[in-house]
Amino acid sequence: MKQGIKWAIGLSLLLIVAMVSLGPSKPYSTEQLKTLTTDRVTNASMDHLMAEDIARTTSLLIASLTGQMEKWGDVDVETLTADIAEELNEHPYIKGIAIRDKDNRIIDGLGTLQTVSSEDISFSNQYDGILYSNPYQVNGENHLFVGKKLDNQHQLIGDVDLRFIQSYLADFAAIADSNGTFFVSGSHPNVQFSAMNELPDQAETVSVPGLNWNIVVQSEPKKLDQKVYKHQVVAKLHSSTNIQEWAAKHQYEVISWNRPFIVIGKEGVHEDELVNALRQDNAVLYAEPNFAFANQAVISQAKVEPNDEFFKSYQWNLEQIQVEDGWNVANGADVTIAIIDSGVDSNHIDLKDKLTNGYNAITDTEDYADGNGHGTHVAGIAAAITNNVEGIAGVSWQSNIMPIKVLDDNGEGSSYAVARGIYWAVDNGADVINMSLGDYYHSDVLYDAIEYAYEKDVVLIGASGNENTGDLMYPAAYPQVITVASVNEDQNRSFFSNYGDHVDVAAPGEHIPSTYVDDQYVMLSGTSMASPHVAGLAALLRSVNPSLTNEEVGNLILGNAKQLGDGEFNVYYGYGEIDVNKTLQHLINE
């Protein structure tokens, strides 16, 4: 495995973007990279990336309407009504579409614009032939008018509900309109501004083209202390131990139990004291704190070009890894990718028809609903339904998605829950497991689960982390796991991407569009986004040859990556950026 082998994990940044280019047009040299890796990432750099992602997602939100408006510009006015009705049905955040004549009368409208007075519709900005109003409020909710000239007599107008922007806005972010007035803010006091002239020097700002909005992010300094669940310990017991009798004898509270592992607590006893006591117990094979995990906030023929709405305009990431040519070889059919994460939105139009049974490792139930959005985004990158007109294309478009919820709605979970989720995925037929989460401490219970999965021939993939550090993040750094770093559109290492000898390959991880909760799409950045690109490639390989071992899959991915940086292998890119077509061609030509 790993051509000498070693493989890792990532946090995603719930972030969002103006079209800003980061870095030079060719990969950095080793000397340049050394200057970028002297410290962990700064608050300012991460805040700027978050502001960019928010701005790009905002543009993505508006693009489906304005793109359709451009197409309608060449359509006879009388034929638009049916198209308008279909657009409203497909995009729930578009609340109304209408035609206004030269006398400012609404002559044909659907949705909210049937009741809006034409005199109330005014535009303050214009960009690429599209008119934009400033945000306005309806019953306390923010809306936006968008307009397009149809002919000398008519204007097309859309009404966009901006509540979705509020739903994905980070706690430390705020948005000001073209007048400099803030109309939506996150919950943290750091961003409770009323006007742009109030901004402190340390706030990071990115503008949104056309709208002339300013995205402002000012987070708090990141604390890197190790986190554990207070008064909780994970232990592995000898198989002969009667757990109920053992717990009662020592007056332990059994918090969760998944033989041979158990999570226990004891009133008034600190977790460190409890670990020390358990390690002296002959019934206990090992004991450790319940570590807190977080998501890591992706034969020459004519290209297969799917018709998904955002594919050509926004999914630069798939073109960069040569996925279209690769789709001539494989589409991922009959392979299951387990997403060990915050769950998956089971109603999303780009995911719902390919979900298998799932599991909630936190509550030991089947409820894998995603209240965070991270897992839904990761799942879409790996295997969104493709060529269905809607949304995005997934790397392995015919693969099944197995949703495993191990992180709560805040994107946080425990080492025990992650291990429990891995066991369930393996026992229920997962062929590939993606883990876009992690922590910097080794966990025995987690490593047991990784070993179990690897011995069952499951391909394990994770992301390297987002702290610009060479520290090992687990479970990614375990040798059985393929470790994925992040690169940007210039094929340069993302400034936040962790590095080291444990990194195996790189994949796109900045400004990646994908599925999100409530049937929406956003752009996120992080090694969390890089990792599912590799999971998708692993699924494509196994769909071509199901008999490939996990070690063979790993060696194919690493051995056919596009070399970046200096040397065949380096600590920033591993063996290079994945190349889907080259890897699949190598397999079928063997």
In Å, how far are 71, 77, 151, 250, 554 from 83, measured between CA atoms?
A: 11, 11, 18, 69, 47
User: What CATH number is attached to the domain comprising 97?
Assistant: 3.30.450.20
Q: What is the C-alpha to C-alpha distance for residues 522 and 513, in angstroms, rounded to an integer?
A: 5
Between CA 124 and CA 184, with CA 62 as vertex, the angle to 5 degrees is: 70
In Å, how far are 87, 290, 444, 496, 564 from 575, measured between CA atoms?
A: 45, 34, 29, 19, 8
The verdict on whether 178 is a catalytic residue reads no
Q: Are residues 398 and 331 part of one domain?
A: yes
By CB atoms closer than 10 A (0-12, 13-18, 19+), residue 316 is middle
Name the domain boundary from 295, 320, 337: 295
Give a yes or no: residue 32 inside a domain. no
Q: What is the C-alpha to C-alpha distance for residues 242 and 250, in angstroms, rounded to an integer?
A: 13
Q: What is the C-alpha to C-alpha distance for residues 273 and 528, in angstroms, rounded to an integer?
A: 35
Q: Are residues 123 and 80 part of one domain?
A: yes
Q: Are residues 520 and 444 part of one domain?
A: yes
- Given 53, 341, 370, 439, which residue is catalytic? 341
Give a yes or no: residue 490 inside a domain. yes
Q: What is the C-alpha to C-alpha distance for residues 554 and 6, in angstroms, rounded to an integer?
A: 10
The verdict on whether 528 is a catalytic residue reads yes
Q: Are residues 363 and 265 part of one domain?
A: no
Name the domain boundary from 295, 320, 340: 295
Q: Are residues 351 and 240 part of one domain?
A: no
**Rounded average pLDDT over 545-565:** 95
Name the domain boundary from 163, 194, 217: 163
Q: Are residues 238 and 152 part of one domain?
A: no
Domain that holds residue 133: 73-163
The verdict on whether 185 is a catalytic residue reads no
DSSP-based three-state secondary structure for 126: strand
Q: Give the rounded distance of the alpha carbon of 298 from its chain centre.
A: 8
Name the average pLDDT for the chain.
83
pTM: 0.80
- Given 48, 374, 377, 533, which residue is catalytic? 374
In Å, how far are 125, 147, 373 from 73, measured between CA atoms?
A: 19, 11, 35
Give a yes or no: residue 132 inside a domain. yes
Instruction: Give me the pLDDT at residue 402, please.
Output: 98
Give a yes or no: residue 54 inside a domain. no
DSSP-based three-state secondary structure for 246: helix
Give a yes or no: residue 18 inside a domain. no
**31 pLDDT tier (thresholds 50, 70, 90):** very low
Q: Please write the tens of the pLDDT for every residue from 34-52.
A: 444 445 567 788 888 888 8
Nearest-CA neighbor of 486 among 514, 466, 506, 470? 506
Q: Are residues 339 and 278 part of one domain?
A: no
**114 pLDDT tier (thresholds 50, 70, 90):** low
Q: Please write the tens of the pLDDT for every residue from 489-507.
A: 999 999 999 999 999 999 9
Q: Are residues 273 and 248 part of one domain?
A: yes
Q: Are residues 328 and 266 part of one domain?
A: no
User: What CATH number is attached to the domain comprising 242?
Assistant: 3.30.70.80
Instruction: Give me the pLDDT at residue 555, please.
Output: 96
In terms of pLDDT, which residue wins out, 117 or 148?
148
Q: Please write the tens of the pLDDT for every residue from 373-387.
A: 999 999 999 999 988
Q: Are residues 317 and 431 part of one domain?
A: yes
DSSP string, 461-505: EEE--SSS--S--BTTTSTTEEEEEEE-TTSPBPTT---STT--E
Q: Please write the tens of the pLDDT for every residue from 78-105.
A: 666 666 677 667 677 788 888 888 888 8
* Other residues' Cβ atoms within 10 Å of the Cβ of residue 119: 7
- Given 12, 497, 528, 531, which residue is catalytic? 528
Q: Are residues 236 and 125 part of one domain?
A: no
Give a yes or no: residue 1 inside a domain. no
User: What CATH number is attached to the domain comprising 383?
Assistant: 3.40.50.200
Give a yes or no: residue 178 inside a domain. no
Q: Are residues 479 and 391 part of one domain?
A: yes
**259 pLDDT tier (thresholds 50, 70, 90):** low
Q: What is the C-alpha to C-alpha distance for residues 303 and 220, in angstroms, rounded to an integer?
A: 46
DSSP-based three-state secondary structure for 398: coil
* Structure token digits, residue 555: 């060696």
DSSP-based three-state secondary structure for 156: strand
| Count of domains forming the chain | 3
Give a yes or no: residue 81 inside a domain. yes
